[in-house]
């Protein structure tokens, strides 16, 4: 193998390899990898895939490892493809509102680079300071502003990928999708690869759609509520009122306290839950939108609701939202839920979460892209406490069932990976699962690309 990989960085230090063998998902199992490589070009990836196929070595691609479902976890004997060195912005095409990047470019680095051209890449998972575009595409990452601006899928125009199977020998490079804004020439394979968690091939280049930058800073409206369920009712009321914020986030008291104790941002945490709305209509329409949102919050029973006039304060609140996950992780292992329910069921789901927490005696902190119905209950379990761990696991599974019963899904944006495989089997009907398996077998007949993930 080594000579086949000459000139490519190979990692075999056991500690480094161990670190590269899993993502950020607590409790998702991972195996013992053979080695890791750090390709820098598509040609490097092509050679690695061809060499692995020759020896039937499974290939596990990864970016920054910020995933929360175990999608980047190694299987025994796998070659890990660490794509973080493939971090070149290949080209920004301001005339056509597109950017082409290697998969290892960090989301926020991409945002910053295109901002210099007056352009904006909206998808903003909370991991944006660390996570890579390749990982974002592989999981079809969401984020805060997808309420108004859509998810990663809505921005992927074209992909280059190293594949095997019908396209040719393992190690064949293909270009899927297009560079134009529209196009229906053949089946939408770029869309199919988006969210496929590396199970069809290795993505080596991505062309993304961009938008013109927003001309003014968005407005922020904060509402404080006496219970998380009351906050959920306000979310449903926002939709009913025909309002479309750029983001509508929920943070409960446990999350706020965890962030405040860590970062001392000066956040008050007397309320049971805060809703943060970001409004970005320009000019006077934006002011009207902000006023309307605050009014809906008040009418829905907010303790208080007001437009933040202080940009630093507004930024601190959204920073708190983004920092909630790492802040809670400091307190011990966190099992992250990612259910998504129809918006009208957000209050019901929040209520179900409280009941499940009570029933299992677990602490569950909740952050949510509430406007999308996408909730992230974070189940806390002290390290080493086996009983707490079992209770957390039971609560986790029960929340999946509750979401499905409400017409929801077990994963809104984190992906199936390893942690949601059982949930997915609960959610999808057997015919659909069989179609998924068949498509995987067709595009990866040797089952070498990230085996065991999604439909494994």
Residues 98 and 119: their CA atoms lie apart, in Å, by 9
Applying CB under 8 A, among 281, 293, 323, 324 the residue interacting with a second copy is 281
**Min. distance of Cβ 209 from a second copy in angstroms?**
10
Residues 105 and 193: their CA atoms lie apart, in Å, by 18
Residue 4 is a binding residue for a second copy (CB under 8 A): no
**Min. distance of Cβ 424 from a second copy in angstroms?**
5
CA 298 vs CA 224, 279, 312: distances in Å: 9, 17, 24
52 vs 279, beta carbon nearer a second copy: 279
Applying CB under 8 A, among 40, 88, 178, 253 the residue interacting with a second copy is 178
Applying CB under 8 A, among 89, 113, 174, 394 the residue interacting with a second copy is 174
Q: Decide: residue 76, CB within 10 A, 0-12 exposed, 13-18 middle, 19+ buried.
A: exposed
**Min. distance of Cβ 123 from a second copy in angstroms?**
12
**Min. distance of Cβ 385 from a second copy in angstroms?**
30
Contact between 328 and 364 under an 8 Å Cβ cutoff? The reply is: no
Residues 312-341 touching a second copy, rule: CB under 8 A, are: 340-341
| 79: three-class secondary structure by DSSP | strand
Contact between 141 and 128 under an 8 Å Cβ cutoff? The reply is: no
Residues 362-401 touching a second copy, rule: CB under 8 A, are: 369, 372-374
Residue 446 is a binding residue for a second copy (CB under 8 A): no
| Contacts for 391 with CB less than 8 Å, ≥ 6 apart | 360, 361, 362, 381
Binding mask 202-241 for a second copy (x = CB under 8 A): ---------xxx----------------------x--xx-
299 vs 312, beta carbon nearer a second copy: 299
Contact between 282 and 215 under an 8 Å Cβ cutoff? The reply is: yes
Residue 90 is a binding residue for a second copy (CB under 8 A): no
Interacting span for a second copy (CB under 8 A) from 16-24, 122-130, 188-196, 220-228: 188-196
Residue 455 is a binding residue for a second copy (CB under 8 A): yes
DSSP annotation of 162: E
Residue 185 is a binding residue for a second copy (CB under 8 A): yes
Residue 188 is a binding residue for a second copy (CB under 8 A): yes
Residue 343 is a binding residue for a second copy (CB under 8 A): yes
Applying CB under 8 A, among 191, 301, 326, 451 the residue interacting with a second copy is 191
DSSP annotation of 75: P
Neighbours of 100 (CB within 10 A): 18
- CA angle 168-175-455, nearest 5°? 70
Contact between 193 and 176 under an 8 Å Cβ cutoff? The reply is: yes
Residue 413 is a binding residue for a second copy (CB under 8 A): yes
Applying CB under 8 A, among 94, 319, 331, 394 the residue interacting with a second copy is 94
Kindly determine how many residues on this chain lie close enough to bind a second copy according to the rule CB under 8 A: 98
**Alpha helices (H) in 180-282, listed in sequence order:** 189-193, 228-240, 253-263
Residue 292 is a binding residue for a second copy (CB under 8 A): no
Applying CB under 8 A, among 118, 361, 382, 387 the residue interacting with a second copy is 118
Residues 137-166 touching a second copy, rule: CB under 8 A, are: 139-140, 142, 146-147, 150-151, 153-154, 163, 165-166
174 vs 394, beta carbon nearer a second copy: 174
Applying CB under 8 A, among 11, 50, 53, 244 the residue interacting with a second copy is 244
Q: Are strands 156-163 and 172-177 parallel, antiparallel or unpaired?
A: antiparallel
Neighbours of 41 (CB within 10 A): 14
Residues 123 and 111: their CA atoms lie apart, in Å, by 9
**Min. distance of Cβ 2 from a second copy in angstroms?**
29
| Contacts for 315 with CB less than 8 Å, ≥ 6 apart | none
């Amino acid at each position: 193998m080594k000579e086949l990989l000459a000139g490519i960085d190979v990692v075999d230090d056991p500690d480094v390899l161990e670190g590269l063998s899993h993502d950020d998902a607590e409790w998702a199992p991972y195996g013992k990898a053979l080695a890791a490589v750090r390709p820098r070009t598509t040609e490097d990836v092509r050679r690695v895939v061809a060499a692995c196929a020759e020896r039937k070595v499974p290939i596990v691609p990864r970016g920054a490892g910020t995933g929360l479902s175990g999608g980047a976890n190694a299987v025994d004997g796998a070659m890990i493809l660490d794509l973080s060195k493939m971090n070149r912005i290949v080209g920004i095409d301001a005339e056509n509102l597109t950017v082409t990047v290697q998969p290892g470019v960090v989301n926020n680095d991409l945002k910053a680079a295109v901002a210099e051209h007056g352009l904006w890449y909206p998808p903003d998972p909370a991991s944006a300071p660390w996570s890579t575009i390749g990982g974002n595409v592989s999981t079809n990452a969401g984020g805060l502003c997808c309420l108004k601006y859509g998810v990663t899928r809505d921005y992927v125009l074209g992909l280059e990928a190293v594949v095997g199977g019908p396209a040719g020998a393992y190690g064949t490079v293909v270009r899927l999708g297009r560079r134009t804004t529209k196009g229906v020439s053949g089946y939408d394979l770029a869309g199919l690869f988006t969210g496929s968690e590396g199970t069809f091939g290795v993505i080596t280049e991505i062309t993304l759609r961009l938008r013109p930058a927003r001309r003014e800073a968005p407005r922020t409206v904060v509402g404080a509520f006496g219970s998380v369920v009351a906050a959920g009712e306000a979310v449903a009321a926002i939709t009913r009122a025909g309002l479309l914020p750029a983001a509508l986030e929920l943070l409960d008291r446990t999350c706020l306290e965890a962030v405040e104790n860590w970062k001392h941002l000066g956040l008050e945490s007397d309320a049971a839950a805060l809703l943060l709305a970001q409004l970005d209509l320009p000019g006077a329409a934006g002011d009207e939108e902000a006023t309307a949102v605050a009014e809906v919050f008040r009418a829905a029973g907010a303790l208080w609701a007001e437009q933040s006039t202080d940009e630093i304060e507004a930024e601190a609140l959204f920073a708190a939202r983004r920092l909630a996950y790492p802040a809670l992780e400091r307190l011990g292992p966190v099992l992250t839920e990612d259910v998504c329910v129809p918006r009208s069921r957000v209050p019901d789901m929040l209520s179900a979460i409280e009941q499940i927490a009570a029933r299992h005696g677990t602490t569950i902190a909740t952050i949510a892209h509430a406007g999308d119905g996408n909730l992230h209950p974070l189940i806390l379990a002290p390290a080493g406490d086996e009983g707490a761990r079992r209770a957390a696991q039971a609560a986790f599974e029960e929340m999946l069932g509750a979401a499905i019963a409400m017409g929801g899904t077990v994963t809104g944006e984190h992906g199936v990976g390893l942690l949601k495989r059982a949930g997915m089997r609960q959610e999808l009907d057997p015919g659909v699962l069989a179609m998924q398996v068949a498509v995987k077998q067709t595009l990866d007949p040797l089952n070498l690309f990230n085996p065991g993930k999604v439909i494994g």
